[in-house]
A and B are shown apart, each in its own frame.
Chain A
Amino acid sequence: MKKVLVVCGNGLGSSMIVEMNVNSILKDMGVEAEVSHTDLTSAKTEQADLYLGSGDIVGNLEDGKKNIVSLNNLMDKKELREALENNL
């Protein structure tokens, strides 16, 4: 079971919406994965197979080991779909 983590500054609003979108796209693709959302501080210590968020946020997670995709437009489902297809 792969794990996708969506990150935003507060871990409340935007990341939750993106998480819902990720869930619906994964359903479309027929892929099973565990999806959750959190804030930047918690994300640093949480393990996941794919980290998603806007560039200015997830850029802070770079440690050379994590699989990070920064999204240009959080609300763009096409971009999100590509990110998921290329990384899961």
Chain B
Amino acid sequence: MRAETAARVRTILGHVMLMFGALITIFPFYWMFVMASNTTGDIFAYPPKLIPGSHLWENMNKVFDGIDFWGSMGITVVAATAVTFLVLLFDSLAAFAFAKYDFPGRRVLFWIVLATFMIPMQLALVPQFVTLAWLGWVGSLKALIIPGAANAFGIFWMRQYAQGAIADELIQASRVDGAGFFRQWWTVGLPVLRPGLAFLGIFTFFHIWNDYLWPLIVMTDPGKVTLQVAVQQLNGVYTTDQSMVIAGAFMSVIPLIGVFLIGSRHFIANLAAGAMKF
């Protein structure tokens, strides 16, 4: 009886701690909404207003006046979608080859893929920019899309996934039917890899959507920037109107939270699985 009570107390204490932690993590989102829906004067008054107000539309409209919100959103959506599509295409092709086919140099090539993990992207930041300048891509969407169109993480992750998910018998059967590599990739590989591709796709999309340093450097035309850079420009110019700036931040975050909440369970489980494979 006593042991049972002790266990119950421990469970309750555990929940109190977890709940407290969750409140702290979620609070900034609530506070963002509070700030975005009040006037700057109200939030920074003393004591500050702690509940959502009625100025959200007004602040959002000011954002549209301050930056080309939809234009930046368009650039971000196009870049993130294009990169995601190319990453899924190139990484799944490479992963399929690495996982299921033996060809001379396979081990060495895969080792090189893994080794590229180790190089911090910032090391080559300056020469990468110079390379793009020479190609004449600075300021264009190509600069956002092409350099990230295939990545080592995706190949590694999809290869692990393919090794477990695709049965050799399936490939042998389709080979007997006369299918070549690309046909096998399309008809046998892709359908089986779909859950893995879904995760890699969302992961890549989030990554490109949220990226800041790279677009900040390569999108040199002030009127043609990604959402992250545009929101930060808003912050730099209108620091006195915090509510409006936060409304811009709010608008840039909402699509991400929406997408995440829809696929969160799947996404988190895959992320954990990916880390455990290292």
Q: Are these two chains actual partners, yes or no?
A: no
